[in-house]
């Protein structure tokens, strides 16, 4: 399992931007997915975006397509989530996660149950 540390959360007004970062302990294989998930109070955790480290292929939830961008800096073992045009419904605790690529059959489903390593989370609050 990887050790993951998130940073970059905060409070912004609607229409604003934030960039989250997830620093991972060194991984021995690039055949892994790293993803971002979020959970609002009283709601289930939902997938936001993921990236396949080997080829940087991204996957997005429909609710964030065109507004969020996931990217990576391989030498730094860091994955970023650039969030633009934020909306109040984007509010929640954002978690970084990682998993072996062989455990993900349908990456576009962004299923939290596919992921085996989790960070502690960083809070994002968007006010209207």
What's the pLDDT tens digit per position in 5-38?
999 999 999 999 999 999 999 777 899 999 999 9
Task: Look at 71 and 29; give whichever has higher pLDDT.
Answer: 71
* Residue 76, pLDDT score: 94
Residue 18, token pair as written in the block? 């934030």
Q: Determine the average pLDDT of the residues in 95-100.
A: 97
Question: SS3 letters for 45-60?
Answer: CEEEEEEECCCCEEEE
Q: How far apart are the first and last CA of the chain?
A: 38
- Edge-to-edge strand ranges of the sheet holding 78-83: 4-7, 18-24, 78-83, 68-73
The pLDDT value given to residue 27: 79
The answer on pLDDT for 1 being more than 90 is no
């Amino acid at each position: 399992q990887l050790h993951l540390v998130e940073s970059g959360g905060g409070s912004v007004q609607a229409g604003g931007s934030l960039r989250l970062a997830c620093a991972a302990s060194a991984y021995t294989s690039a055949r892994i997915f790293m993803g971002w998930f979020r959970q609002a109070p009283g709601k289930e955790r939902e997938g936001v975006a993921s990236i396949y480290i080997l080829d940087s292929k991204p996957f997005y939830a429909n609710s964030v397509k065109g507004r969020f961008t996931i990217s990576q800096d391989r030498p730094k073992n860091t994955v970023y989530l650039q969030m633009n045009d934020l909306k109040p419904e984007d509010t929640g605790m954002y978690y970084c996660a990682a998993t072996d690529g062989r455990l993900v059959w349908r990456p576009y489903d962004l299923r939290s149950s596919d992921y085996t390593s989790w960070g502690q989370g960083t809070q994002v609050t968007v006010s209207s």
